[in-house]
Chain A
Amino acid sequence: MSTTPIVPTTTDPKAGDELARGREAEVGTKAKRVKRRLTSRGATVAALIIAVIWTIPTFGLFISSFRPAELIQTTGWWTIFQNPGFTLDNYSEVLFSSSQSSPQLGSYFVNSLAIAIPGTLFPLVLGAMAAYAFAWMKFRGANWLFIVIFGLQIVPLQMALLPVLSMFTTFLRPLQNTLHDVIPIIPEQNYLPVWIAHTMFGLPLIIFLLHNFISEIPGEVIEAARVDGASPGQIFFRIVLPLALPAIASVAIFQFLWVWNDLLVALIFSGGTADVAPLTQRLAELTGTRGQDWQRLTAAAFVSLIVPLIVFFSLQRYFVRGLLAGATKG
């Protein structure tokens, strides 16, 4: 960095202002002195404006979801004080009403969960096993294979959709039909194709992320267990997985949100009925067919947002870590 060109100028009035502001802290530690760096008044105002612009759209939808239908349709949400009104009807309607015209989100909510939980666990376990193999087992072509997997995580899903769908129709469909014949309570359209699709598409990223972490586990720990006579299964489940838990948590959250928020995989593999389709698919359908039913759409949108938002605000640290490491997926 010694080449960084630095223009020597005399202290200008703006910098002086910053100095004065910095003196308020007065403690004079390094960190405190850096604090005044760029915190000018203009910057604060600009940050505030960005923050407001970024929040208002969500906020408006949130307010509207609690307003009675006739008010949503005739007045802007920003006139809430002139046109007050509060109701939970929108939520009870979209979630529990069984009338034909209602979105009936209850079953789709269950579907989203039923897709996302196995859709996270399956690839996580298989991915962790593969990551362990790449990190701790020596075999020819390991390096090359790992690079292929790394590249696969960026390949657009569009490249896989058609052939995978025709494969499913040929091999999975008969199995689903048999399952329905044996256990009638399980519909012909079941979660199997969506689970398998999410498992296949999630693996490259999960293997890559977990490999980085698992390869940093101290080798002595694994060696000591082996000397003590632990089986490969015991070493993996009792030692490797617990040690990799922080990384697994990040990856799990990332994969969970990815599956929960996915629309493309659902559209192609779920069949679109209330038996399988997740919330996102239902919402996309509603915006198409009932694009003006804002009392329903606003509440429905928030029903689908609530789980990601809870995950985001309670597990933000893990979420950020997973996201930063794996944002190229898809």
Chain B
Amino acid sequence: MTTADLLGKILQVVGGLAIFAAIIGLLFFFLDKAPKRGKDWVQLFVFLAPALFLLILGLIYPAIRTSLLAFTNSRGEFNGADNFVWMFTQPAILNTLLNTVIWVLLVPIISTTIGLAYAVFIDKSRGERFYKALVFMPMAISMVGAGIIWKFVYDYRQAGDEQIGLLNQIVVWFGGEPVQWLQTSPINTFLLIIVLIWIQTGFAMVVLSAAIKAVPTEQLEAAEIDGTNAWERFTNVTLPGIRGSLVVVITTISIATLKVFDIVRTMTAGNFDTSVIANEMYTQAFRAAEPGRGSALALVLFILVLPIIIYNVRVMRKQREIR
């Protein structure tokens, strides 16, 4: 990086921020100068229009356009449901769809279970905050970084050589032969799934820990006076008390899992039968110059997320009615 490069970059950021500030300033300047009559409308426009404009341009219009593109071929001509026929007949793509199903079945359930167990185990213990930070930390780092961290764990050296990947070393300690983990299907998909579980468990743990603390102690004490043991108190008092949070955690992790891209891209780039929908969409649309197929995959992803969107919208509308 030369000094001129750096200067250019700084100039861009400073200039960008200055121009942005100037535009906002100008908008408010005209708002102040607006005539008294109709001022409410000008005000509404100034506050709402920039965001709305960007949302329509950046999300709503593109989403509609992608839905239409899903029914075109690589030259942009309408080709009916060909892309979907392709998707469900091509073994490689069927494998991609199957992988996505495996991901979305395993990650939410396992990370929620471990997160919940951990939250219960460390609840009110000494050093609870420290314990939480350890498991929650992966949530702060990038999935690319997480991918590298785990790729190192899965690293392979020939049998006989000293292993530098922890997993193969453990295998060797137990008298086994080292395995090329990431190249070996189908176990490689499960090893990638572990990375996302590693990331999402912290999220489940923090949300559920807060929920556990909100369970009234009176109920737990009442159950204890009645002579129940810890496990009975957990299943009969705590678990019903945190049901709402459990639903939130599982749906949230499901969405994140459906969209998983970075982990697969970094660790295997979708090779060796590890691809998932989000990765295949990128490959088709931006590497293989097949925008139609890529869009069809995006549409499938959208349809998979749709029930969760509808559910969340309904929950929110109910909450707003209560207020």
Contacts and interface: CB of A to CB of B under 8 A. Distances in A.
Interface of A: 1, 4-12, 14-15, 18, 30-31, 33-35, 37-40, 43-44, 46-47, 50-51, 54-58, 60-61, 64, 72-78, 104, 106-107, 110-111, 114, 117-118, 121-122, 125-127, 129-130, 132-134, 137, 139, 143, 145, 147-152, 154-164, 167, 183, 185-187, 190-192, 195-197, 199-201, 203-204, 207, 231-233, 236, 257, 260-264, 267-268, 274-275, 280, 283-284, 287-288, 291, 294, 297-298, 300-301, 304-305, 308-309, 311-313, 316, 319-320, 323-324, 327-328, 330
B55 A18 contact: no
Give the most central of B20, B62, B139, B278: most A CB within 10 Å.
B62
B163 A287 contact: no
A263 B147 CA distance: 12
A294 B220 CA distance: 51
Interface string B132-149: 011111111111110111
Given A60-B166, A158-B301, A162-B66, A297 B153 contact: no
A43 B12 CA distance: 54
Contacts of B233: 37
Interface in B194-226: 198, 201-203, 206-207, 210, 216-217, 219-224, 226
Contacts of A190: 12
A51 B257 CA distance: 23
Contacts of A106: 1
Interface in B142-189: 142-145, 147-153, 155, 162-166, 169
B313 A287 contact: no
Contacts of B299: 159
Given A12-B229, A261-B141, A287-B266, A185 B62 contact: no
Given A57-B166, A114-B13, A274-B1, 9 more contacts: A33-B221, A46-B117, A61-B148, A114-B12, A152-B55, A155-B305, A160-B59, A280-B262, A291-B151
B33 to A, nearest CB: 10
What size tier do the contact residues of chain B reach? 35 or more
Nearest to A302: B145
Contacts of A12: 229
Contacts of A126: 50-51, 54
B228 to A, nearest CB: 6
A197 B58 contact: yes
Contacts of B71: none
A158 B298 contact: yes
A282 to B, nearest CB: 9
A26 B222 CA distance: 20
Nearest to A286: B148
Contacts of B237: 1, 4
A231 B165 CA distance: 63
A37 B54 contact: no
A34 B121 contact: no
A56 B142 CA distance: 17
Contact of A37 (B220, B232, B265): B220
A129 B47 contact: yes
Contacts of A330: 255-256, 259
B152 A46 contact: no
B268 to A, nearest CB: 10
Given A47-B118, A186-B8, A232 B43 contact: yes
Contacts of B55: 149, 152, 200, 203-204
Given A54-B198, A203-B54, A154 B148 contact: no
Given A47-B118, A75-B162, A167 B221 contact: no
Contact of B236 (A4, A46, A107, A309): A4
A313 B133 contact: yes
B180 to A, nearest CB: 12
A60 B152 contact: yes
B48 A130 contact: yes
B312 to A, nearest CB: 7
Contact of B144 (A125, A187, A283, A327): A283
A214 to B, nearest CB: 11
Interface in B15-72: 16-17, 20, 24, 28, 31-32, 40, 43-44, 46-48, 50-52, 54-55, 57-63, 65-67, 69
Contact of A129 (B48, B148, B236, B255): B48
A186 B11 contact: yes
A293 to B, nearest CB: 11
Contacts of A127: 51
Contact of A156 (B125, B162, B278): B278
Nearest to B124: A35
A129 B51 contact: yes
Contact of A76 (B122, B166, B203): B166
A143 B323 CA distance: 13
23 contacts: A8-B227, A31-B124, A47-B131, A60-B166, A74-B162, A118-B13, A154-B305, A161-B298, A162-B62, A167-B57, A185-B8, A191-B13, A203-B55, A231-B31, A231-B32, A263-B142, A263-B261, A267-B286, A287-B147, A287-B151, A297-B152, A313-B133, A316-B133
Nearest to A150: B316
A303 to B, nearest CB: 10
Given A47-B118, A185-B11, A304-B142, A38 B230 contact: yes
B301 A156 contact: yes
